[in-house]
Amino acid sequence: MINKPFIIFFGSILLILSALSALQGCGHFSYYQQAIGGQYEILSQRVDIETLINNKNTPDKLKHKLETVLQIRSFSAHDMAMDISSNYTQYSNLQRKYVVWNVSASPALSLTPHQWCYPIVGCQSYRGYFHQEMAEKEAANLQQQGYDTWVGGVSAYSTLGWFEDPVLNTFIFRNDADLAALLIHELSHQILYIKGDTAFNESFATAIEIEGLTRWLKKVEQEELLIAYQQKREEKSFFIETVSATTKKLKVLYDSELSDHKKTLKKEQVFSELKDNYKKSVVEKSLPGYYTHWFDEVNNARLAAISNYYHYVPAFSAMIENANGDMAAFYKQAKALSEKDKDVRNEILNSYLTGSNRR
């Protein structure tokens, strides 16, 4: 059944955004129009998880996964001190592989991410589309302007408390470890979100994801999944170290006095060496090779996106350790940090990275 107040609410938002877009250009209107339509599709497809579990026609595989979701919700509330509200108590089947496609971009000779700015949430270093072709069109337009771009499919995202986020078919059939990691990560965004600071927001959520998943797998005694997760974390750590080292090398190159032509040639050389060295290292270190294909289309946009997601993860993990694993105390400390000016909070986070702020 379609909820009339729900339609009125979306119509009101569309009218407001239409007025804003009239001042900014028709391209903005079409973007907000697809965003509202995409979110409406998700919410209008929702079915209560309890209803599906009790329905004899629900496939056993889906029923098992939905039961696991409810267990993860309970764990997040009690063991991770999260305010989970009514998130992930409903299920939506979108009948596609990804819910959105994110576009990231950086100049050809810079690792500074291109920013898109929006009402309410502020500026972000990516732009999400509910239709892949629209994302690819945006990327193509940016490429014509000289940007490196990356279009990546996304299985889930948080509406930051504006709506009750449902479980989606795009991620429900992941293994239990990956499913728990995703839900804990997305719930973390509802605890704390700073307008216009992607690096803070994503690093904060990723640190909680790591801590939460480790606790969850121990609690449910999933030893095999825990071992597999630790192996994957080992390679992810190496992957991030590799990307960080390359990022530093490229920053030096881009800030140098070389001509743009020479910078471009050296940039391609760095990328070629990066691909080859990573493949060799995976073999030498006997790693699973989860990220090998990530380097097939490596560019500035991809490197910058990884930096945003993981740069401050060790800092937030150190804060959790300093709080003796007391998540409520950690959230309080992180919220106090979020109220400081960006330069000040980055300085504090960097002090955790260097170890000067650790106990």
Task: Give the distance from CA 198 to its chain's centroid.
Answer: 9
Q: Is 248 among the domain residues?
A: yes
Report the alpha-carbon distance of residue 134 to residue 27 in Å, rounded.
11
pLDDT at 68 exceeding the cut of 50: yes
Residue 132 lies in a domain: no
Inside any domain, residue 339: yes
Question: Mean pLDDT throughout 196-214?
Answer: 92
* CA–CA dist 297, 309 (Å, integer): 18
For residue range 225-273, what is the model confidence (pLDDT) as tens digits?
888 888 888 888 899 889 989 999 999 999 999 999 999 999 999 999 9
Residue 153 lies in a domain: no
182 lies in some domain: no
Does some domain include residue 178? no
Quote the domain boundaries for residue 345: 223-354
pTM value? 0.84
Burial class (CB in 10 A: 0-12, 13-18, 19+), 58: middle
**What local confidence, expressed as pLDDT, does residue 7 receive?**
38
Check whether 131 has a pLDDT greater than 60.
Answer: yes
Contact 100, 168 (CB under 8 A): no
pLDDT in tens, 112-121: 999 998 776 6
Percentage of the chain beyond pLDDT 90 is 70
What pLDDT sits at residue 125?
87
**Residue 41, C-beta contacts closer than 8 angstroms, at least 6 positions apart:** 94, 130
Average pLDDT, the chain: 89
The amino acid occupying position 264 is T
* Max CA separation in the chain (angstroms): 69
pLDDT of residue 350: 93
Q: Fill in the DSSP letter of residue 345.
A: H
**pLDDT reading at 6 higher than 70:** no
CA proximity to 135, closest of 117, 151, 147, 123:
151
Whether residue 349 lies inside any domain: the answer is yes
Locus of tokens 């991809």: 302
**Cα–Cα distance list, 67 to 88, 170, 181, 219 (Å):** 11, 17, 16, 16
DSSP state of 291: T
pLDDT of residue 29: 77
Tell me, yes or no, whether 341 lies in a domain. Answer: yes
pLDDT of 283 reads 93
| Tokens 């592989």, located at residue | 97
Alpha-carbon Rg for the chain in angstroms: 21
Provide the number of structural domains found in the chain: 2
- Whether pLDDT at 17 is above 70: no
